[in-house]
Each structure stands twice: as structure tokens, then as C-alpha cells.
Amino acid sequence: MMLQPGSILHWDWYKNHEGREVITSIMHRNMHRRKVFGLLERPSLPPHLTPDEYRYKIFVSGKGAVGKTSTVAKLSGNEVPTMHSETPGIQTSVVYWPAKIVKLDKVVMFQLQFWDAGENALKKFDHVLPACKDQADAVMFMFSFVDKGSFDDLPHQMSRILEPSEDVCKFVMGTKYDLHAHSEITQRDIREFEHQWKIPILRIKNVTDYQQSELKTDLNEVAPLLNTICELLWQRDQILAGKVAAPNYANELKISFC
């Protein structure tokens, strides 16, 4: 079975007193928006609240105009762009996300570095893809719910980006889920992909559909996504360290979607 949400991290920990105390370190003083951090910046916390930090590099891969930049902006607390523009070269964004490990009963701080490269830059310059993949811990493959071609291209995208020997965390992000009424991908398509490839598909709305004064709504929207990404990365580390066994899909029953 694929990882069950909440099996590694306390899912709603950020809502309780302990969680809110740490969450303030990634928020602006007025608590309306999250802070934007550079590669060399980190949240400021008092000594008694300083958790261990775990850093991960995530390469963002997908066809042009599927919503890579707006997705990273949404996850990092930046303004979501309203118009598409090609990403020039490589763009890096840092997301800090505190969480509490269930089994360890321990608070940790995840630092997620998202590396996004424009499609033209990847085609034009040979060094861009190796730079994005260098020491990457995960690849976030992307498609748009309103572009069936981007979904059908996922297997080709995965084989083009990664060699079979590359042991990185893999997950898929479906963008523009706010336009689900116009979706060209069915829930059956999603289930069949996850069953065949054993890779989870996350969904994100590429709009800012909350008032800036509604802090709870903002965090409620992005917290499940950040928790899931952090759980997948933590699970990969535990498997590589030999602390837990890798998932065994050999005995899974074939699922019928009829």
C-alpha cells in the first residue's frame, strides 16, 4: 500500500498550542502571510523551540504552462501569478515547514528547496537538467487537470528525467484543480496511474482563493500538501537508512475500476 496520510506526521499538529508557537516563526508579524525565505535564510526561533532541521532538494518537472511556477509560489507563500510567463533559466524557492513526527514524538523543521527550470532553458542548455538533478532528493512531476496531454506524458517524462538506478522520492502534482469542472482527467485515470506506477498524485488549486486576513484558511489549504511531501521524503530517508522496509507491492491484488 502507498503511504497513508498522517502515518508519519501529526496531521493537524500546527493547529494546537505547541504547533502555533512554532508556526509563528514562518509567519509575518501580523500573522496574515507566510514569510518568504532565501537559500541562506532560516526562521528565527527561541532556543527552547529550536527543532532539528532536515533539508531536501526537489526538482520540479513538467511541460510548459502546466503551472509549475504558480504551484511553487502557492506552496512557498508567494503571490500566485495570474498570467503565464516562461521561467528563465533555473528558479529556486525555499519552503520551511515545521511538523511533529508521530513515532518519535519530536518536532522537526523541514526545509524544502524547489528547483524549477523553464522548458526552453532545459532544451537550450545541456547543463540545466544535470544542475537541477544534482543531489536532488525528490522529483515532483507535474500535469494540469485541464491538459490531458500533460497527464499522458507523465510516463515519458519520468523515463526521460530519471534513470532506473536513481533512487529518489517521486510524486506527482496535478495543477489547476480549481478548474475541476473542466477537467480532462477522470478519477479513474488517477486511480489507474497510482495503481500502475505506485506514485501518489497530489492536487493543488493554482489560485489564491482566501482572504489575506484568514490565516487558518491559508494554512488549511497548503498544510495537507506540505505534510504529504514531508512524509514521503521522511519515509524515503527511513528506507535508505534501513530503519523501515520498502513497500512491497508484489502481493497486491489487481484492482478493478469497472
Query: Is the pLDDT reported for residue 21 higher than 70?
Result: yes
Write the DSSP symbol of residue 178.
Answer: G
Mean pLDDT of 150-176: 94
SS3 155: helix
What is residue 49's three-state secondary structure? helix
From CA 39, how far away is CA 28, in angstroms rounded? 18
Q: Which long-range contacts (CB under 8 A, 24 or more apart) does 135-138 make?
A: 135/57, 136/57, 136/58, 136/59, 136/168, 137/56, 137/57, 137/58, 137/168, 137/169, 137/233, 137/236, 138/56, 138/57, 138/58, 138/59, 138/168, 138/169, 138/170, 138/171, 138/229, 138/232, 138/233, 138/236
Asked whether the CA dihedral 84, 147, 140, 51 is positive or negative, the reply is positive
- Does residue 255 register a pLDDT over 80? no
Average pLDDT, the chain: 87
- Residue 141: phi and psi, rounded to 5, are -85, 140
∠ CA 68-73-74, rounded to 5°: 100
Q: Is 39 exposed, middle or buried (0-12, 13-18, 19+ CB in 10 A)?
A: exposed
Calpha distance 63→131 (Å, rounded): 18
45 burial (CB, 10 Å; 0-12 / 13-18 / 19+) is middle
- Of 226 and 90, which is predicted with more confidence? 226
Q: 141-160: per-residue pLDDT in tens?
A: 999 999 999 999 999 999 99
pLDDT in tens, 24-49: 999 887 767 889 998 889 999 888 88
How confident is residue 88, by pLDDT bands cut at 50, 70 and 90? confident
Give dist(CA 70, CA 79) in Å, integer: 8
pLDDT in tens, 229-253: 999 999 999 999 999 888 765 544 4
pLDDT digits (tens, 9 = 90+) for 50-62: 899 999 999 999 9
Sign for the CA dihedral angle at 218, 95, 38, 107 comes to: positive
CA distance 250 to 258: 22
Asked if 61 and 139 count as a contact pair (C-beta separation under 8 A), the reply is: yes
Return the closest-CA partner of residue 134 out of 89, 97, 93, 166.
166
CA-based nearest residue to 63, from 144, 168, 133, 2: 144
Q: What pLDDT score was predicted for residue 123?
A: 79
Question: Averaging pLDDT over each range in 64-78, 81-95, 96-110, which range is the top one?
Answer: 96-110
